[in-house]
Amino acid sequence: MTRSARRTRRTLLAAGAGAAALLALSACSSSSGSSGSGSGTKADSSASAKPSGTVTVFAAASLKESFTTLGKQFEKEHPGTKVSFNFGGSDILAASITGGAPADVFAAASPKTMAIVTDKKDTATSPVTFVRNQLEIATLPGNPDKVSSLKDLTKSGLKVVLCDKTVPCGAAAQKALATSGLKLTPVSYEQDVKSALTKVELKEADAAVVYRTDVRAAGDKVQGVQFPESAEAVNDYPIALLKDAPNAEAAKAFIALVTSAEGRKVLTEAGFLQP
């Protein structure tokens, strides 16, 4: 082989080695980029799992004050979220859910009203009892009619309001009356506990059978009277994630807050009983 040929061969070999090196670097860069992309996907997936957007909660009227507090706490802990509440009689809320109303969470004031939803298989998780509630008599401030027992509500001329029998607070009142063997004809039946309480606050009624939590929330607008029969009519409050929830991730996080020690502290301070 001539000297010129040997030089040409060395030049070609060097060029080939350089090309191989460039290909190796390119492969490493591509591999690194692919790895980075994979990490980004995981991060994005993790980020998307964080609560965001609006979570819609259908809840019993008696939960209004405590859930409003928990809603604000939830929004503070999860920036970018909003909790939208629909408070009302549990039976009416349950009917709305089974009728197709879009909601993420249902918190009912009794297992019976929750069953309206579970029987239609409209929950995604099994209901969990998170608190309990007990009845109390709400009278006008100062208790001018000297109401001291459930029997006193049967006095002639006393205007008493009850929740409708289909509403948990109404069903509980009927159970308490049956336990004591009393018959009571109210001046009106209200669709939820807040409506019954409002009648007393506005002095349109002398007394109402409501929850102890509602008496506490009303402050000095009413006066509470406890009665022993209420122990026989304590309501369990179940909560569940709904099927086809528009915002399931945020809903799960809200339920987690409600059932946490932090959530139960807010609820017990409002007068609810531990499950």
| 224 vs 34 pLDDT, higher one | 224
Which pLDDT band, with edges at 50, 70 and 90, does 25 fall under?
very low
Query: What does the mean pLDDT of the chain come to?
Result: 87
Give domain limits for the chain: 51-132+236-269, 135-232
**Distance from C-alpha of 27 to C-alpha of 231, rounded to nearest angstrom:** 74
Topology of the domain covering 51-132+236-269 = D-Maltodextrin-Binding Protein; domain 2 (3.40.190)
pLDDT in tens, 177-195: 999 999 999 999 999 999 9
Q: Tell me what percent of the residues of the chain surpass a pLDDT of 90.
A: 82
The angle formed by the CA atoms of residues 258, 46 and 241, to the nearest 5 degrees, is: 30
Provide the whole-model pTM.
0.81
Which pLDDT band, with edges at 50, 70 and 90, does 49 fall under?
confident
**Whether the predicted pLDDT of 31 surpasses 80:** no
CATH for 135-232?
Answer: 3.40.190.10
Q: Tell me what percent of the residues of the chain surpass a pLDDT of 70.
A: 83
- What would the mean pLDDT of 18-25 be, rounded to a whole number? 39
**Whether the predicted pLDDT of 54 surpasses 80:** yes
